[in-house]
Amino acid sequence: MKIGVIGFQGDVEEHINILKKLGEKYNNIEPVRIRNKEHLSEVSAIIIPGGESTTIYKLILEYGIYDNIIERVRNGTPLMGTCAGLIIASSSTNDPRVVGMGLLDVDIQRNGYGRQGDSFMNEVEIDGIGRFLAVFIRAPVIKSVNQGKVMASYSGKAIMVRDKNVLGLTFHPELTEDTKIHEYFIRMIGGEGGVSTGMHAGSVRVK
């Protein structure tokens, strides 16, 4: 099973590396860098990474895969958007430079926690996953959740939302050694039998 990471800018390698670690246990997982329609057509799930949302958005348009991503996800392909990826997947970015895909019905405020110097980490409780050290870097704020389930909050604000096959996070799970969120995403794809037993790829087992 191939899991694609939109591969133009941002934390592409970090997501790829976590998927490679999990692939040591889930024998059927293969990460793919998506840069064109052919790459996109190969994958069973899609990750839009954290990074610079305006740059990622521009390149997704330039390489002609913006509408294809929307079509795939609306037809059931699982999608995870982290930080910038959440902004792009959202229904309202509140930024005229980035038109959201409308795949997750949330309203976003870019850099809602401040600029680069205001980055921070905090342990949060995620429904169905447990405790997780969340890394916030120029993180967006979810101003409102119009549809979907809030899986985690911080300071009264939603930071992780799921609606059917779409998962959106304001933080960066790819910047930690904790694989639980990526394991959860794998289980969203279906049929892998993965069970998370804690931190690190070594704790992943297959039924």
Residues 54 and 174: their CA atoms lie apart, in Å, by 20
Q: How far apart are CA 18 and CA 178, in angstroms?
A: 9
Q: Which of 83, 182, 183, 192 is catalytic?
A: 83
Cα dist from 204 to 12, 25, 75, 144, whole Å: 22, 7, 29, 34
**182 has catalytic annotation:** no
Choice among 174, 182, 183, 192 that is catalytic: 174
> Contact 30/74 with Cβ under 8 angstroms?
no
Which member of 39, 172, 183, 192 is catalytic?
A: 172
Q: Is 42 a catalytic residue?
A: no
In what helix (H) or strand (E) does residue 30 lie, and over which residues does it extend? strand 30-34
Distance CA 97, CA 93 (A): 9
Give the residue carrying structure tokens 């694609």.
Answer: 4
User: Quick check: is 200 catalytic?
Assistant: no
* Active site amino acids: 83, 172, 174
